[in-house]
Amino acid sequence: MENKKILITGGASGIGLAMVTLFAERKSEVFFIDNREDIGKEVEKSLRLKGLNVHFLHSDLTDSKRVNQAVNSISGSLDVLINNAGISHIGKVESTDEDDFDRLYEVNIKGAFIATKAALSKIKVNGGGSILNMASVAATMGLPDRFAYSMTKGAILSMTLSIARDYVAEGIRCNCISPGRVHTPFVDGFLAKNYPGQENEMFQKLAATQPIGRMADPKEIAALAYFISSEEGSFMTGVDYKIDGGFTGLKM
């Protein structure tokens, strides 16, 4: 992946940041989109001080005009797009407001659509490349209190299969990754908000729901993303790759 151009959405924290860092460490030129300008600039500065070739693009993925401007600011072609940006929500149908539903649709589904549409022409310049979407085990399992989030990840899975079919003849591969629970800042924030004083206890309970006995590290998700996106993954398309500590396959 040396000297390849990579575009990653939601790259300023969590899994996205792990991906940005890994690709850049492997000598790719990495562009990352995030709507948090201060954090994005700080990440860019920090990684550049380490000698990494990264570029922060401030944009709102729900705004097609701004996303197109951001993508078009990248000179030449693109080799890889990773649609990582996403937000979560906790609740059943009855506890999900229309505003919550619309917000998750706008970011998780429409955002991936807008970024993909904007990037396709640049991926075609090289005669093909890789698109990787972040789905979730929630796309194929019935998780409690995750109605709207699961809906969006199911859409991402279907989107992946459709893009893979439509563009395989043009040399564009499209896959998705479905992680189980990953220890990100979202998890820490969720526990602090909902279980003050019980964070460690609840963290262990959440980790124990996966047969392997722990949550994933964002770097582990990034490593799979790197492999799928690289030339070593060039025979892989139209597949949902689960990385979930046995959550779906070994459930008791």
| 132 contacts 229 by C-beta, under 8 angstroms | yes
Do 79 and 204 share a domain, yes or no?
no
| Number of domains making up the chain | 2
Residues forming the active site: 149
Q: Is residue 114 part of a domain?
A: yes
Query: How far is Cα 41 from Cα 51, in angstroms, rounded to an integer?
Result: 15
Q: Residue-wise pLDDT tens for the chain (252 aa)?
A: 999 999 999 999 999 999 999 999 999 999 999 999 999 999 999 999 999 999 999 999 999 999 999 999 999 999 999 999 999 998 999 999 999 999 999 999 999 999 999 999 999 998 999 999 999 999 999 889 999 999 999 999 999 999 999 999 999 999 999 999 999 888 888 788 878 899 999 899 889 989 999 999 999 999 999 999 999 999 999 999 999 999 998 865
Q: pLDDT at position 111, please?
A: 98
3-state class (DSSP) for residue 12 = coil
Q: Is residue 139 part of a domain?
A: yes
Q: pLDDT at position 97, please?
A: 96
Query: Nearest to residue 10, comparing CAs of 74, 72, 75, 88?
Result: 88
Q: Is residue 197 part of a domain?
A: yes
**What CATH number is attached to the domain comprising 226?**
3.40.50.720
Q: pLDDT at position 252, please?
A: 54
| 42 contacts 118 by C-beta, under 8 angstroms | no
- CA Rg, the chain, in Å? 18
Query: How far is Cα 245 from Cα 250, in angstroms, rounded to an integer?
Result: 9
Do 189 and 76 share a domain, yes or no?
no
Query: How far is Cα 31 from Cα 54, in angstroms, rounded to an integer?
Result: 6
Name the DSSP class of 5.
E
pTM over cut 0.85: yes
CA angle at 189 for the pair 183 and 194, rounded to the nearest 5°: 115
Do 141 and 58 share a domain, yes or no?
yes
